[in-house]
Amino acid sequence: MKNLFVLILFILINPFVYGQSKMLSITDAVLGTYGKLAPSIPGRYQWTKEQNSFSMIERNSLTLYQIAKDGNHGYKTVSLSKINAALRLIGADSLKYFPRIVWKEGFAMQFKAGKSNYTYYVNENRCERIFTFPDPLANMQIEKNNRGLSGTDGENLHIVYQLKDGSFQKIFAEQDEVRGTVFGQAVHRNEFGINQGVFWSPNGNKVAYYTMDETMVTDYPIYQLKDTPASAQPIKYPVAGAPSHHVNVLVFDLQKEKKIKLENKFPKEDYWTNVSWGPNEKYIYITHLNRAQNHAKLCQYDAQTGDWVKTLFEEKNEKYVEPEHPLTFLKDKPEQFIWWSEKDGYQHLYLYNTNGKMLEQLTKGKWVVTDLIGVDESQQQVYFMATKDSPLERHLYAVSLVTKKIKKLTQEKGTHRVWPNADYSLFFDYFSNTSTPAKLQMISGKNGKSMEIFHVAENPLQEYKLGEMQLGTIQNKNQDDLYYRLIKPIDFDPNKKYPVVVYLYNGPHVQLVKNSWLGGSNLWYQYMAQNGYVVFTIDGRGSANRGFDFESGIHRQMGSLEMEDQVVGLDWLKSKRWVDSSRIGVHGWSYGGFMTTSLMTRKPGLFKVGVAGGPVIDWQFYEIMYTERYMDHPQKNPKGYQQANLMNYVDQLQGKLLMIHGGQDDVVLWQHSLNYLQKAISLGVQLDYFVYPHHAHNVLGKERVHLYEKISNYFFENL
């Protein structure tokens, strides 16, 4: 450790002038980050379906702009009162606020109001009711051409679709009286990028949907304390090593009113993901992943018969394969599609054909693609977001399908979000960095040149006294760059010694340190800095967006490498003469709660105080999909599960530990921390414990202020 090479990548100091005097309250710190102290948000900008046209909604009014070459845009205003007048003509209720809209062809905007869906035709000042939704329906989806809608009621799926005569019919596509048979909802506990259960075909003629049999999965009680007397609402929660649910995909043909089930020639506990329609609606493509999650097969199915056609290709990895993205087909070459894969060690884009042949690796390098924006086939360009310039930043790039050359389009350093117009010639670019609260501009899809700046947010914290922030890197013993964020106390004096709070997560799919406004943090960090604390975060191995080896190093040994890297950060802190090594605390939630408890007990004495929120204590009680990906099956990795089981270290606790849990938690079951608490009691170990009875995995709303006041006070009193 003494010979660790420390590299400061860059230091970014907050752009605040001296002389600020305002201090954050705990309410400001918790609710202000995304509320009154957030960078000002510009009006809602959207591209229409028409050439070089966009809209902006602000103050209950929509302005429609037509882009002119001379920069003098033509515009038209659509007021809320005008839409309300059109709604009243068809007997619909008026709107109080301008709705969220989706643009359709011909300057037609679609929106939902009450239980109905409407289209307002701007040029005709006319409203049309498209659907009236069945009540109640959850997980609602409207087919893009307004030919139907789908939604769920409990475990059942409902579909409303258009008949040949243009009228609409409500059907109950699937319902089953057996509890534990679920239709049309996301499966596999939303792992593998799955966030929906219904998939409309490209032209709206068919609907594919998940069906999930959970009858073999153990019930787990979620207590409803509001009931008198309290009741238990069971949920299906498959824990690692236990029986898993069985999933299939069905297809309903709206024209033939015929339902078919896709052939399942794979083990019943396989995972079905990446559900993708082929362009002509003839085929469906699905990735099958074995329960061990180390062998994926991309398969083609006949959407008319349900027959399995072929396996296009397979991917294997001795650790795991994690398919999370549907296929993106090329419109002009419908036999070709873009596929995401980490098979070369980093998340990249590949071009395949429907025979399963890889045609090109479109992106390559020691960086990851984070989003596929779209394909401009007229210019043979694929647009994507990636970490190519820095793991801390997100930029827009374009790769040529012809030359395979990559060009960077966003220019300013920082974290960008973009959305393109219909032909990808222009993009809205919304970005921030540690010195720029927010900026919205229009850029060229050809070279990234800024065409027009719409909004530059003022610094919402310019009147507040804040601590200096810096981002940088420290290297671990493997010479991996570990990115950190450090916030110093206000009125920092290098000759004084300060207590430290380490905030961490350090688990898969999460990155805490970014070159964005507040450096990826929130105002609670600054609240602690105002109260005299150094606040430190480091993304160690296991964290996201650094490549497969970096994230998967924790495989079969969760908690171990992560603690090593957190200790690297701790040693670096202790080397600073202004750090009080006897007063260092640690806090995290979920995986961060697991890490907090791990550090307090498996590395006793390093931290004086810990606050662990919603912690995983024993991975055998966590859900199958996530746990077996990173820890393997309990019977195949008993040593790894035993080593990570925090029940085995309760007697090693040193210092003060506060454990917090939500009484309705259906992600990290309440049982985790309750078992830990009981073990502490039986061993005579003192432990502080607090429950939010009516909250699930995260404590949200106004009670989040209560949560962070409790966390802050725990550090104030004990650190």
Q: Which residue is catalytic, options 150, 590, 673, 712?
A: 590
For the chain, the distance separating the N- and C-terminal CA atoms, rounded to the nearest angstrom, is 26
Paired tokens of 404: 């395979």
Whole-number Å distance between alpha carbons of 519 and 470: 8
CB 173 within 8 A of CB 158: yes
- 371 catalytic residue (yes or no): no
Whole-number Å distance between alpha carbons of 683 and 670: 20
Paired tokens of 380: 């043979």
Q: Which helix (H) or strand (E) holds 26?
A: helix 26-31
104: amino acid identity, one letter: K
Whole-number Å distance between alpha carbons of 49 and 52: 9
Whole-number Å distance between alpha carbons of 698 and 518: 22
Whole-number Å distance between alpha carbons of 514 and 392: 4
Q: Which residue is catalytic, options 480, 539, 618, 665?
A: 665
Look-up of token digits 């966009």: 54
Cis peptide before 136 (omega within 30 of 0): yes
CB 484 within 8 A of CB 503: no
Long-range contacts of 404-412 (CB under 8 A, 24+ apart): 404/360, 404/362, 406/363, 407/447, 407/448, 408/448, 409/383, 409/443, 409/444, 409/445, 409/447, 409/448, 410/443, 410/448, 411/448, 411/450, 412/436, 412/439
Q: Which residue is catalytic, options 73, 509, 633, 697?
A: 697
CB within 8 Å of 614: residues ≥ 6 apart:
589, 590, 593, 660, 661, 662, 665, 667, 668, 673, 697, 698
- Provide the Cα torsion 93, 99, 101, 106; round to 10°: 50
Instruction: Name beta bridge partners: 219.
Output: 236
- 153 catalytic residue (yes or no): no
401: amino acid identity, one letter: L
- 270 catalytic residue (yes or no): no
Long-range contacts of 308-312 (CB under 8 A, 24+ apart): 308/262, 308/263, 308/265, 309/283, 310/356, 311/356, 312/285, 312/352, 312/354, 312/355, 312/356
Q: Could you give the residue numbers annotated as active site?
A: 590, 665, 697
